[in-house]
Amino acid sequence: MATEEPNVSIGDVSHSTFAIGSHARAVAHHGTAPQRDEAAEELLKAVRELRADLSRVRAGEETDALRAALAETEEEITRTGRAAPSRRERLRELLTDSQTLLSVLASAGAVAGLLGL
């Protein structure tokens, strides 16, 4: 006796998002990147420069916190096209706490200036 097997056919799945299975989750990332205004673009550039400069500075508690916040800011601007006010405030706090760093690294001064410090 032959059993009936389920029949599945998948055609062209270009530009599609789907998941299969009981715990599957599909997330679509289609379309264009979010639009960034000039201020966000300028902040993103300054954040990237400061991150590069921080790679040449000895790690410490303050620099580690600043590195993490800069990475999160870069990711947020890249993903959403802007840095939320709370993210900008966190960077302000970290840069204020790092006054010595601001005087040594021009890139830190650039980010601080863009954040209104």
pLDDT digits (tens, 9 = 90+) for 67-86: 999 999 999 999 999 999 99
Predicted TM-score (pTM) of this structure: 0.64
H runs (alpha helix) in the chain: 38-54, 61-80, 85-97, 99-104, 106-114
Is 1 a residue whose pLDDT tops 60? no
Show contacts of 97-100: CB within 8 Å, 24+ apart: 97/62, 98/62, 98/63, 98/66
| Residue pLDDT, tens place only, 3-59 | 777 777 777 766 677 677 777 777 666 666 678 889 999 999 999 999 998 888 888
**DSSP for residue 4:** P
pLDDT, position 25: 79
